[in-house]
Amino acid sequence: MTINVRQKHFKSGHFEDSAYPNLGEVGIYWFITPSEILQDSVPRTEGDDDGDFVNGPSGHYEFWEHLKTQIPNLKGTEYDRVPRGRVIYSKKDSTFLVYGSTETISNPQRRLIIERDFRLRGERVKYIQDSHYETDHLISIIPEEFDR
């Protein structure tokens, strides 16, 4: 069975499609290849609402540790060595805020991938470079177990 990670979300130990295909999502992501992301996201209406912002339910470190138990290729790779970022929703501005490294934020192809996979097309989106998400270089993770 082939699983296209660009269109799937890892939740509860398995990959699944979003139940809300036309609603923008919030959450975390990693670029596991230059053109594919692995994400944990939920529709913004199901995110963690702190009053001003809606965020996804997962943190990068904790979720990566969980993923390493499910995806053998990730073992031995630290979560912060793979290009990553976060998408949150600003209720005040009705805008999705996409955080990432300079490379991710300045790359038009990666922006399109994020917009597609987080279902942000047609939404107000602001891209924000954040030094917290900088990595030395792209580490591609070949998702062998997705091709079974």
pLDDT in tens, 75-87: 888 888 889 999 9
The pLDDT, as a whole number, for residue 1 is 24
> Two tokens at 89?
């929703």
Domain boundaries, the chain: 5-147
- Residue 30, Cα to own-chain centre: how many angstroms? 5
Cβ-contact 115, 109 below 8 angstroms: no
What tens-digit pLDDT sequence spans the chain (148 residues)? 223 333 345 443 444 555 555 689 999 999 988 888 999 999 999 999 999 999 999 999 999 998 888 888 888 888 888 899 999 999 999 999 999 999 899 999 999 999 999 999 989 999 999 888 887 655 555 444 444 3
Instruction: In whole angstroms, give the CA distance from residue 119 to residue 115.
Output: 6
The pLDDT, as a whole number, for residue 147 is 41
The pTM (predicted TM-score) of the whole model is 0.79
- Residue 6, Cα to own-chain centre: how many angstroms? 10
What one-character DSSP code corresponds to residue 48? Answer: E
